[in-house]
Amino acid sequence: MTAAPPSRAEKARRTRKRMLDSAARLFTERGWAGTTVEHIARAAEVGVQTVYFTFGNKRALLKELLDTAVAGDSDPVATLDRAWAREVLDAPDPAAQLALQAAGARRVLERAAPVLEVVRGAAASDPELADLWRTNRAQRHTVQLCFAKALADKAGRAGTGLRDGHDAASAADVATALLGPETYGLLVGDRGWTPRRWEGWAADALVRQLLP
């Protein structure tokens, strides 16, 4: 039985993904300044106007690429409403929660770290991308603060509290630093650690820093 030809919407979805995939590869290889819309169109085998019609401009394309890489899909679901984040919040004890935070961060960074590095590098010379970078950093801290409040509540119920007088705010600062793309990029990208090794290190570091 012959399969039905793809619908117009499916063709558009595939074309959009091809442009995003091409942009991700080119931005990672050539950087922000070294990649043009023409390069992306050629790699995706579409017309230049198709890229502009779909995304508007190169900055908007990079923002969608970042959003998609962080989420893992194009569904409009906030990070804290995603299954992995709910699992973190619902973890039965502080140590289990921190292990799940490290695992979730590893999965996100495996997808998103190269794109985040493109945004960080471009932020120095492009004010709009500097805003995008600041927004991303603020969003990451917001997520970690929500996790830290749950962690502090669990530690309080266990009668131990957090280590060295940490409260939710400072615990979020620690987690943001340990689970950020800067640390991941240094150890995995520069030093050659595997993502799994980084995850184990990050989980252990969180426990040592935050739990008694």
Give per-residue pLDDT as tens, 116-135: 999 999 999 999 999 999 99
Tell me the pLDDT of the chain averaged across its residues.
96
Q: Give the model confidence (pLDDT) of 56-111 as tens digits.
A: 999 999 999 999 999 999 899 999 999 999 999 999 999 999 999 999 999 999 99
**CATH number of domain containing 39:** 1.10.10.60
Structural domain contains residue 100: yes
Whether residues 140 and 204 fall in one domain: yes
Q: How far is CA 43 from CA 15, 26, 39, 60, 119, in A?
A: 12, 9, 6, 18, 21
Q: What is the pLDDT of residue 11?
A: 92
Structural domain contains residue 137: yes
Q: Residue 18: which domain range? A: 1-56
Whether residues 84 and 131 fall in one domain: yes
CA 130 to CA 113: how far, in whole Å?
17
3, pLDDT greater than 90: no
Whether residues 107 and 141 fall in one domain: yes
